[in-house]
Amino acid sequence: MPEPIAVHKVAISHVSDASGLTGLIDAGAVEADRVIAIVGKTEGNGGVNDYTRIIADRAFREVLVANGTRTAHEVSDVPIVWSGGTDGVLSPHATIFATEAGERVEPSDEPRLTVGFAMSETILPEEIGRRGMIEKVADAVRTGMSRAGITDPADVHYVQTKTPLLTIHTIRDAKARGKTVWTEHTHESMDLSNGTTGLGVAVALGEIDLPDDADVLRNRELYSAVASCSSGVELDRAQVVVVGNARGIGGRFRIGHAVMNDALDTDGIWAAIRDAGLDLPDRPHHTDLGGRLVNVFLKCEVSQDGMVRGRRNAMLDDSDVHWHRQIKACVGGVTAAATGDPAVFVSVSAAHQGPDGGGPVAAIVDLGD
């Protein structure tokens, strides 16, 4: 049986600030050796060269090493997923997942939060955007489910991944070995890696059958309702965190999910919070949350037809500001207004993650006394 999980959200006051994690450890709320995953937002540009992710990653891992018994090599295996870019009102922060000792846990036979993680086999640059990557991601998701003690895919509510994208170096490597790559545009490869990973999650959970290479980034009817995929230059494997609910492990926390059908769909946000177990009025307000919402995790994507609720927008035609930054700022503002908190996890590039123009939403709530 997996151990129960506690979840804490901490602010990040500058790009290398991990004092929030240090404070939790000093206060006895978290043991460094029990931290099993971190998911956060950094304030960089969110692009291929967003090195704020690497800086934040190093800062948080150094805290884990300095305050625990694990070596730097052992801590390097802890999945820490950073999404770069806090456009608009989004605020840099990190969500800490840690196991709890049995004596500190509220017993419950109700579904409570469980987490499993896994690393895929090495993903070669020529596999990004193709079945090879889809299958490797799917295998890692299944391993993460098993480690979380989840047997029914319906109990999975959030799969956070980090995967490699294409760089000039890896493109050259593939060519030197006589291989081709899906694209030679490194920024486009961010959407490509995320979308391919989303399909891998969907395959693992039985949401879709194994797609063809031709479906990647083209058939937007194929998607996962729980995948949240990010990519970067800092790894060459799929890093997978599976979050769901299981009975009998106890604890205070529970997760639920839904989807936003478009960039303005606050009903999707509230549906995820309700699915996590909070009772809310028909027309909820952030004051109805009572401090029980730990965090929400969203992916967003500009609609391929350039429309939102029948109105045209110019994001896809804007040559000055990439649509990644515009839609992230938009959905971040919508989410912050709904929850009353700008420190929410909103990540862009949601191909094959939720419906076109929308995206998946996961919510973690505290149901403790």
How far is Cα 263 from Cα 20, in angstroms, rounded to an integer?
Answer: 31
162 is catalytic: yes
Burial class of residue 115, CB neighbours in 10 A (0-12, 13-18, 19+)? buried
Q: Which of 120, 224, 228, 230 is catalytic?
A: 230
Displacement of CA 8 from its chain's centroid (Å) = 16
| CB of 99 closer than 8 Å to CB of 5 | yes
Q: How many CB atoms lie within 10 A of CB 343?
A: 21
How far is Cα 73 from Cα 77, in angstroms, rounded to an integer?
Answer: 7
Residue (of 2, 7, 4, 3) closest to 362 by Cα position:
7
Q: 37 pairs with which residues across the strands?
A: 97
Burial class of residue 158, CB neighbours in 10 A (0-12, 13-18, 19+)? buried
Which pair of structure tokens corresponds to residue 290? 């009572």
At 155, is the secondary structure helix, strand, or coil? helix
How far is Cα 160 from Cα 24, in angstroms, rounded to an integer?
Answer: 23
| CB of 274 closer than 8 Å to CB of 329 | no
108 is catalytic: no
What b/e readout covers 117-126, taking b as 16+ CB neighbours within 10 angstroms? Answer: bbbbeebbbb
Q: Which of 9, 162, 299, 328 is catalytic?
A: 162
Which pair of structure tokens corresponds to residue 71? 């070596």
At 302, is the secondary structure helix, strand, or coil? coil
- Give catalytic residue positions: 162, 230
